[in-house]
Amino acid sequence: MRITTNLIFDQNLRAINDNQGRLSDIQTQLATGRKLLRPSDDPVGAVQVIRMTEELEKFDQYKRNISLARNNLELQETTLRSLNEIVNRARVLTIQSSSGIFTNSDRQTISEEIEQLRNQTIDLMNAQNFSGEYIFAGYQSDQVPFRFDPSDTANPVTFAGDDGTNAIQVSDSVTVQTTSSGSTIFENVFKRNSFDVNGTTGGLVVNGSSVINQALFDDFYRNNFDPGVPANNQFELRILAGNSVEVTNTGTGVVVGTANYVTDDPILFQGMSFDASSIGVGDTINFELPRPQKSNLAETLHNFAVALQSETISDNDFTKAVNDSLVGLDAGLTQMARESSSLGGRLNIIDSVESSILDSELANQAARGAIQDVDFAEASSEFSKQETALNAAFASFPRIAGLSLFDFI
């Protein structure tokens, strides 16, 4: 093969350019820390890196979602904890006010604190998150959910939100509820079950009636209340001979029970007390079980404050107000305890998912690094080798280019 001068120059120039290109690539690898500079360096590895990068970006979004969900849930948890403290304080005051040694002046003092607790309760029920959204308003998060109007004696505290709840995805398969409606937590609280005397026959007179054993009466209520047929909620207590009574459901005609009573003492039946006089055999007391009613915590506190402020309320009515308040507060505490338990469960799920995501993130980062990250020791050695080759090419080219046949003539 005849080697021309042009061939010598072209080969040396190509060798120098190749060495410079390899040296430049290694220098870029060292500067960026990346072994893959272009897809052609490792087509299969490049595809894997793209997929792993997309997976890691998804993990970043999930971590942001987890942070948002945790903030919302912890805010609700803190709010419910504060409400729990308020309700417990109100419960203590309610029990204190039922003491016979308290005067009207003492009740007025207690009512002032109950009103303050009511106002705090409303503020917490209208709590907002860092974005200014009302956390217990459902989907109506831009509107105040609980509104207080003391002039409305029937419903002084009304709910203006809805039953909507928000959720956020924290992993490919897990979605966590981040809000709860105030309707579920605060509105879905039943008042104390009671009964109403609506008539008598014969010479019997009912001077007063009340529930003296709430648990026993609640069992009677659950077993006998008919939500579909109002007539089946009417009952007749008939006086029998031998100081005994028989109670019949007038709607169904079924005898629901009997009891004995002591002369001059109230008639007791299934937790109910009837203070009756002028009792004669065959006389009857007619009573009914009203439909269950609901009342939120703020409304329960307001109604009790009104009872405390009344100077004309009878002892019997005040006792009922105390019992209504205690049952309402206890029911509210129970409902909040359920929600707190649910919040704790959701926070545990978030923690578990976050731990799993962090583990997967580390595994993906390690796998991606094995494909695309440069080995600095190897790259530095290769850089030195290519630099030496390039210097050798630069040094040898002038000597080869200087060879000529004329030197031998």
Whether residue 100 has pLDDT greater than 90: no
Query: Is 158 in the same domain as 204?
Result: no
CA distance 306 to 115: 9
- Given a cut of 70, is residue 114 above it in pLDDT? yes
Count of domains forming the chain? 2
pLDDT at 3: 57
Rounded distance between C-alpha atoms, residue 57 and residue 63, angstroms: 10
How high is the pLDDT of residue 188?
85
Q: Do the domain assignments include residue 328?
A: yes
**Cα(201)–Cα(237) distance, rounded to whole angstroms?**
10
State which amino acid sits at residue 29.
Answer: Q
Residue 10 lies inside a defined structural domain of this protein: no
Identify the DSSP state of 138. T
Alpha-carbon span 22 to 383, nearest angstrom:
8
Q: What is the pLDDT of residues 288-345, one digit of tens each?
A: 999 998 889 999 999 999 999 988 888 888 888 999 999 999 999 999 999 999 999 9
Asked if 195 and 209 touch (Cβ cutoff 8 Å), the reply is yes
- Find out whether 210 and 319 touch, Cβ atoms under 8 Å: yes
Question: Residue 238: CB partners within 8 Å, gap ≥ 6?
Answer: 245, 246, 247, 248, 282, 283, 284
Does residue 310 sit in the same domain as residue 185?
yes
Contact 340, 77 (CB under 8 A): yes
Is 84 in the same domain as 166?
yes
Q: Are residues 135 and 284 in the same domain?
A: no
Rounded to whole angstroms, the Cα distance separating 392 from 386 reads 10
Question: How many CA atoms does the CB half-sphere of 241 hold within 13 Å?
Answer: 0
Does residue 160 sit in helix, strand or coil? Answer: coil
Residues 384, 183: Cα–Cα separation, whole Å: 73
Q: How far apart are CA 288 and CA 300, in angstroms?
A: 23
* Residue 311 three-state SS: coil
Q: Categorize the per-residue pLDDT at 103 as very low, low, confident or very high, splitting at 50, 70 and 90.
A: confident
| Domain membership flag for residue 209 | yes
Q: Is residue 282 part of a domain?
A: yes
Q: Structural domain of residue 274, as residue ranges? A: 196-292
Do 207 and 277 touch, CB atoms closer than 8 A?
yes
393 falls within a domain: no
Same domain, 142 and 175: yes
Tokens linked to 237: 């207590």
Q: What is the pLDDT of residues 222-273, one digit of tens each?
A: 999 999 999 999 999 999 998 999 999 999 999 999 999 998 899 999 999 9
Do 349 and 311 lie in a common domain?
yes
How many other CB atoms are there within 10 angstroms of residue 177's CB atom? 16
Q: Domain for residue 391, yes or no?
A: no
Q: Are residues 245 and 106 in the same domain?
A: no
Residues 66 and 183 occupy one common structural domain: yes
pLDDT at 67 over 70: yes
The verdict on 91 and 114 lying in the same domain is yes
The Cα-based distances of 148 to 104, 184, 245, 283, 325 in angstroms read 26, 18, 46, 46, 18
Q: Rounded to two decimals, what is the model's pTM? A: 0.76
What CATH number did the domain enclosing 119 receive?
Answer: 1.20.1330.10
Q: Considering the domain boundaries, does residue 390 fall inside one? A: no
CA distance 346 to 73: 8
- Return d(Cα 290, Cα 43) in angstroms, integer: 77
- Final residue of a structural domain among 235, 264, 292: 292
Average pLDDT of the residues in 59-74: 94
| Residue ending a domain, choose from 292, 317, 340 | 292
The answer to whether residue 216 scores a pLDDT higher than 80 is yes
Same domain, 209 and 349: no
Assess whether 115 and 149 both reside in one domain.
yes
Same domain flag for 281 and 249: yes
Please check whether residue 21 lies inside any domain of the structure.
Answer: no
Please identify, among 260, 275, 292, the residue that sits at the C-terminal boundary of a domain. 292
Q: Quote the pLDDT of residue 56.
A: 86
- Which amino acid is it at 281? V
